[in-house]
Chains A and B, each alone.
Chain A
Amino acid sequence: MIYLDNAATSWPKPPAVAEAMVRFLEQVGASPGRSSHRLSVEAGRIIYQVREDLAKLFNCPDPLHIVFGLNATEALNLALQGYLRPGDQVITSSMEHNSVMRPLRALEKRGVELTVLPCSGEGFLEPGLIEEAIRPNTVMIVLNHASNVIGTLLPVREAGRIARRNGLLLLVDAAQTAGAYPIDMERQNIDLLAFTGHKSLLGPQGTGGLCIGPRVDLERLEPLKRGGTGSRSKFEEQPDFLPDMCESGTLNAVGLAGLGAGVRFVLAQGLTSIRHHEARLTQRLIDGLRSIPGLTVYGSGDAHQQTATISFNIEGLLPSEVGLRLDEGYEIMCRVGLHCAPAAHKTIGTFPQGTVRFSLSLFNTEQDVEAAVDAVVKIAQEGKASAPYQSQCPLLG
């Protein structure tokens, strides 16, 4: 079996992730920040260490300004719904995931002005467009660090400079880059960084969060949820300090224990070596796929301008058909369709049919890439000529 769906959720995980979760369940168990007995304090220490490790990975100025939640979606909703008000303008790109686009479209209905900057067919954004779109009521720039459809990197550093020069906040959706590509909140002028735990940070599902930089006005940031925090319990009002202000309800402590192990694995490997390995395999995969007749491979074609995510289509075959043949004929797991990003597919010209997406992780090998290319060669050769595919699954067959 070859797993090439890491942009959805990475798999496998380093063994230390499951070990940390088992250790937490068997030996700690308690809720962090709720009680003052030793197990609760130990749970608090484990969670706090995750904040420090993430702060190190992202160069986030203050580990206490990292708020945990379920995933990147929750973090993005907190940043967008919590910060933007009717009359504000927000600038984003046409390569965004629906976890940015849907909250923004909803806010637009409530009076937030939304400017969606067009990207090229390869997913690139011309930074000059950002500057041109700024108006007196602009409050925030929101950018996907890398496309989850074709991997193309967006110009976060330039956007950060523009944001700083114009007194705007920069919110970065790092779902596809956290743990795979270097991120430096201070040097890149990132004010709000949304991450998810279950992709390249190698943690389990149900973990993620928002890193909040010093330029964010906390008085303006409305929490998505209010409730118990274990602090200021005398009061019926929500605390006004981080992380408690935005962390109501019992945390997914066991998941965060696993996330911590994943982040420490990434730190120990080093982003440079992870990136080197992934870029090398990505280029092989791109070149291999591009050499197949009848294939369209989307994106830049240059592994240095993208993450390890590649989209393609085979002439005459629907993405869903290709995905099924890859799974049933070759045990290759990929993701087909629109990848929750209709805007990105419109930008690259693959809406509404979508694409076949291969996405690698640091655990993939050259053999995986060769096997995937060989499988696509065969499927492309069979093409439509083959009999309508008979699924071996009795329920679907």
Chain B
Amino acid sequence: MKEKNCGVVLFYSNSAAIRAEKVTLEAGLAVKLIPVPRNLSSDCGVALRFDWDDRAEVEKLLEATDVPFNSICRI
């Protein structure tokens, strides 16, 4: 996944980040919780990295499951 284009979801709360990981993994997406990249700022220490091609699906899933998130960025 590292060589590919990736995005991250930033969260307010760590609990929300964990829930986002669970929801997206259950939907079969390739995601990973990583420390928030240095150039981005976030309220919570971890971010959810995903394949940028999955962006629409990630966003849809988080909204459908009421996971509160801050923003989505390309890295």
A residues with a Cβ closer than 8 A to B are: 32-37, 41, 44-45, 47-48, 51, 62-64, 229-234, 239, 241, 243-244
Contacts and interface: CB of A to CB of B under 8 A. Distances in A.
B12 A241 contact: yes
B13 A64 contact: yes
B71 interface: no
16 contacts: A33-B13, A36-B45, A36-B46, A37-B35, A44-B15, A44-B46, A45-B21, A45-B22, A48-B22, A62-B66, A64-B13, A64-B16, A64-B68, A239-B13, A241-B13, A244-B13
A229 B18 CA distance: 15
Nearest to B17: A44
The 3 closest A-B pairs by CB, nearest first: A33-B14, A36-B35, A48-B18
Contact of B33 (A41, A64, A231): A41
Contacts of A241: 12-13, 68
B73 interface: no
Contact of B13 (A35, A233, A243): A243
Interface of B: 12-19, 21-22, 33-36, 41, 43-46, 66, 68
A44 B43 contact: no
Given A36-B33, A36-B36, A47-B15, 19 more contacts: A32-B14, A33-B14, A36-B34, A36-B35, A36-B45, A41-B18, A41-B33, A44-B14, A44-B46, A45-B21, A229-B13, A230-B14, A230-B44, A230-B45, A231-B14, A231-B44, A234-B43, A244-B12, A244-B13
B12 A232 contact: yes
A62 B33 CA distance: 22
A51 B34 contact: no
Contact of B15 (A35, A37, A51): A51
Contacts of A34: 45
